[in-house]
Structure 1
Amino acid sequence: MDMNVLFSITQEINKQPLNRQFFKYYPNTSISEYSYNETLKYIEYVYKDGIRNHLLTSVTNSYYLEIILNNSTKGKKIDELVNLLNHI
């Protein structure tokens, strides 16, 4: 199956809120390569007009984000991440 088609199907499934509870989420593996001080940088990709584009994106690091990243290396479902944050 073409990767663009597979990605499109996955995106449509993931848009449905009821489906999200079944997925496991993992940290983007490029985070550690680009992080600097209080900023986390990572490579993300988007499809526009059927073309895959890579973007270098940055977010401000936080205590809560670190907890999520450190505890989701083997994948966590949304409810597991929420429970993790609720018990801080």
Structure 2
Amino acid sequence: MGELGGASQRWMIGWRNAQLRAAAGNASMVGVEVREIKWLPPPQGWVKINTDGAVKMTNGYAGAVVRDYHEDWLAGCSRNIG
């Protein structure tokens, strides 16, 4: 895993742990299942497009990444939509 991949994985683990600590005393979080989801490559000869977005107040952002079955990055984009 590259430097960026390792950094993002560490960030996600830290975020998940912070969420678990915040929810520890929260009755509304009782019974919530936390599980790790790993990206899986598409079948050979295919590409996979993953998208994401975020909104804060009046700002919105969206992004996408295209990867092949070797997990190689082919294209990506991001845009301020808000």
- TM-score, length-scaled by structure 1: 0.26
Instruction: Find the structure with the greater CA-based Rg.
Output: 2
Instruction: Return the structure number with greater strand share.
Output: 2
Instruction: Return the structure number with greater helix share.
Output: 1
